[in-house]
């Protein structure tokens, strides 16, 4: 399948992570050059190395996507290397124990700073890159953005209060930005979101796997019992959905949230 990405330039924010990293690698396989932005330069470089070893073009950039000067610096580096940007994937974010209720942490005791931190990592880290790269799309009258939200943003999950709220904000922002860009700049600028279900990554492992035994936690067992397909998703399965939304195959799709969750959000538990 040819997605039409040859000679396109893609910025993948959070590209050192599991889902965004796999999306970066798949985009490169389809011919795009990749700017991998990540808070960890080492993680960004690992993904960039994978791309280059496979024959692609990549640039690793250290970037705190929630901070405008850091994003602007990353964009300057990207433009110096590749000249422009055609595609944007916002995949930064994740959950943290400090904003997750547990036997050791009641909702009433979560520090307000923990909410600030998780909203910066999951919401601001989407908005700020959209501002910076979106300006280029407005000038070019063309571009495609995919924001990585979560089923937690559509259907709040127990315990992860900050993460659920932040992802709900990402989902709402995606819809708002899709209308704003199409009505004010060009209908050829599309903005969509993915809502992945449960994919086992380093960011959620503390919730799903017992660190002492390596066995699924009680929550892990509960999740699998509520996924009709009976398993966690794979990063590659989320990446393929991202490629569809970024491509011209989705030319009449904007302001949408595509759920990739093995049926989790469709299942009432009975």
Is position 218 within any domain?
no
Strands (E) located in 75-217: 87-90, 143-148, 189-196
CA distance 253 to 249: 9
Is position 223 within any domain?
no
Is position 171 within any domain?
yes
Is position 61 within any domain?
yes
Enzyme catalytic residues: 163
In tens, the pLDDT along 57-107 reads: 999 999 999 999 999 999 999 999 999 999 999 999 998 899 999 999 999
Q: How far is residue 113 from each of residues 33, 98, 138, 167, measured CA to CA in Å?
A: 37, 9, 35, 17
Higher-confidence position of 202 and 254: 254
Is position 222 within any domain?
no
Is position 141 within any domain?
yes
Sequence-ordered list of residues with C-beta below 8 angstroms from that of 195, at least 6 positions apart, any chain: 149, 150, 151, 153, 154, 171, 257, 258, 259, 260, 261, 265
In tens, the pLDDT along 126-165 reads: 999 999 999 999 999 999 999 999 999 998 889 999 999 9
- Element spanning 13, H or E: strand 9-13
Is position 206 within any domain?
no
> Residue 237 sits in a domain of what CATH number?
3.40.50.720
pLDDT at 219: 80
Is position 183 within any domain?
yes
How many domains does the structure of the chain reveal?
A: 1
pLDDT at 44: 98
Determine if the pTM surpasses 0.85: yes
Sorting pLDDT into bands at 50, 70 and 90, what band is 203? low
Residue 114 lies in domain: 9-197+233-260
């Amino acid at each position: 399948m040819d997605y039409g990405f040859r000679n396109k330039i893609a910025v993948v924010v959070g590209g050192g992570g599991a889902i965004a990293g796999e999306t970066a690698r798949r985009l490169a396989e389809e011919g795009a050059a990749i700017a991998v932005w990540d808070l960890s330069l080492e993680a960004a470089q690992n993904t960039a190395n994978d791309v280059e070893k496979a024959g692609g073009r990549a640039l690793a950039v250290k970037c705190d996507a929630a901070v405008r000067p850091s994003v602007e610096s990353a964009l300057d580096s990207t433009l110096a290397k590749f000249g422009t940007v055609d595609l944007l994937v916002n995949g930064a974010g994740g959950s943290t124990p400090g904003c997750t209720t547990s036997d050791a942490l009641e909702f009433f005791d979560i520090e307000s700073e923990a909410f600030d931190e998780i909203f910066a990592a999951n919401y601001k880290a989407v908005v700020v890159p959209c501002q910076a790269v979106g300006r280029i799309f407005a000038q070019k009258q063309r571009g495609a953005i995919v924001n990585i939200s979560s089923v937690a943003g559509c259907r709040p999950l127990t315990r992860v209060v900050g993460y659920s709220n932040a992802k709900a904000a990402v989902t709402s922002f995606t819809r708002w930005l899709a209308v704003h860009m199409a009505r004010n700049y060009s209908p050829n600028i599309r903005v969509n979101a993915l809502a992945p279900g449960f994919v086992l990554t380093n960011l959620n492992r503390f919730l799903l796997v017992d660190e002492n035994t390596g066995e699924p936690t009680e929550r892990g067992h509960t999740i699998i019992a509520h996924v009709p397909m009976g398993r966690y998703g794979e990063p590659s399965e989320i990446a393929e959905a991202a490629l569809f939304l970024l491509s011209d195959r989705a030319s009449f799709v904007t302001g949408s949230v595509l759920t990739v969750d093995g049926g989790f959000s469709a299942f009432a538990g009975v």
